[in-house]
Every structure is written in C-alpha cells, then in structure tokens.
Amino acid sequence: MKTRIGKTAHYQGQEYLVCEEVITFLLEYLAGELSGEEQHEFERHLGVCPSCVSYLKTYQETVKLGKAVAATPPSAPPEDLGSDLVKAILAARTR
C-alpha cells in the first residue's frame, strides 16, 4: 500500500484529494493509521464529496454484515463435536 496520499484535483477553486485516493486509503483512515496531515486532507475531501461519505458508510456496513453472517452460519450443524469425533481425537493422542 502506498505510504503517501498525493493525487489531487481542483474543486470550486480549492485543491482536494481525488476519490481514488480516499477510497484506496479508507482502511488506514478507519484504523487511525494516517498521519495528521493525511487525515486532515482526507476529511476535507469527505466534507465536499457525499459519494465518498456514502462509500465509507456502506464499507463499514459491509464489514458488519460480513462479521454477522460469517460468525453465525444458520445451516451449519450445532457446534458440538459429537462423541465419535471426541473419541477419534482422544484415540489419536495415544497412537
């Protein structure tokens, strides 16, 4: 991953980071790993770009959905080894 955020464009007479930089560095932004200056520029972009704000929100929602779904597979058998598997594991110990 790049260490510096750099690509900018002008909008209403001011220079801002472009969407590509913001979306590429989202993980580091959310993890609090950007430098103070990078974070400031990141947030200036978010202040004028509702599309990237929505991207950020839906990215965070995606992480929540993934965690919730993968953690609780409804169709999986109960999380019980069953006596056969317990026996097999314990028997393997003495082999």
Residue in 52, 44, 47 with CA at minimum distance from that of residue 24? 52
User: Which lies closer to another protein via its Cβ, residue 11 or residue 40?
Assistant: 11
Angle, CA 33 vertex, CA 32 and CA 36 arms, to 5°:
85
Is 67 a binding residue for another protein by CB under 8 A? The answer is: yes
Is 54 a binding residue for another protein by CB under 8 A? The answer is: yes
Is 35 a binding residue for another protein by CB under 8 A? The answer is: no
Interface residue with another protein, options 12, 13, 36, 90 (CB under 8 A): 90
Looking at residue 16, the DSSP 8-state letter turns out to be E
Interface residue with another protein, options 13, 32, 36, 73 (CB under 8 A): 73
Measured from the Cβ of residue 55, the count of other Cβ atoms closer than 10 Å reads 16
Interface residue with another protein, options 37, 40, 43, 62 (CB under 8 A): 62
Backbone CA torsion sign across 6, 33, 36, 46: positive
User: Which lies closer to another protein via its Cβ, residue 40 or residue 82?
Assistant: 82
